[in-house]
Structure 1
């Protein structure tokens, strides 16, 4: 699977709350942003705990819109992120960029960047 397919699969697994399938796309020592509380989490178990905690508080849905390979080998993904509370009320609807480093067919790291206006 190429990088775009890998990332589409990872987003679909995240949106389906299939943490095992999402983690299967990641390097065991993945470096992942904690977009909710700040900082970073490292490794599958830390990502699992972060997402599990996040999903008890909010209902995020992140849809990839466009993929742009960067000169340094990373992949930038423009996403639309819609966040609701568990009653369905809209908390956020925003465009962001996620920038990935992919090594040997697995996500090694991700950064969240505000999308240009």
Structure 2
């Protein structure tokens, strides 16, 4: 997938996340995707575990994640700078910060993501 196509894929994934569109998100993941559990800790593996993680998270929290910059790293991964705002279900702001998400893609699908503070 060409670099513009990869950026479009990732931009669309953030929009799907903010809409809570699990089917669209999981369709863009490799079946054995490795995904950080930034909320509870650890790593989840595979589409089923990633979907379950997001559903648990969204029962408790209202995160909105907006990409602000993209860069390709030397190893081919894509680092996305994101502005992340998280509220609890009552509307109280719990977090408002910038982090970096680093993606590895294979065959047009997300195979791995890492969070850098």
- TM-score class, shorter: over 0.9
1:88 Cα deviation from its structure 2 partner: 1.3
Q: CA offsets per residue over residues 59-81 of structure 1, 9 Å max, x none?
A: 00000000000110100000000
Equivalent of residue 93 in structure 2, options 81, 85, 90 = 90
Query: Which runs of 5 or more structure 2 residues have no equivalent in the other structure?
Result: none
Per the normalisation by structure 2, the TM-score is 0.95
Residues paired across the two proteins, number? 114
Per the normalisation by structure 1, the TM-score is 0.95
Cα distance in 1 for partners of 2:33, 2:18 equals 19
1:50 Cα deviation from its structure 2 partner: 0.3
3-state DSSP of counterpart to 1:7: helix
Residue 42 (structure 2) pairs with residue 39 (structure 1): yes
More helix per residue? 2
Cα distance in 2 for partners of 1:11, 1:24 equals 13
Equivalent of residue 32 in structure 2, options 21, 29, 40 = 29
Query: Which runs of 5 or more structure 1 residues have no equivalent in the other structure?
Result: none
Equivalent of residue 11 in structure 1, options 11, 14, 20 = 14
Give the aligned CA root-mean-square deviation in angstroms: 0.8
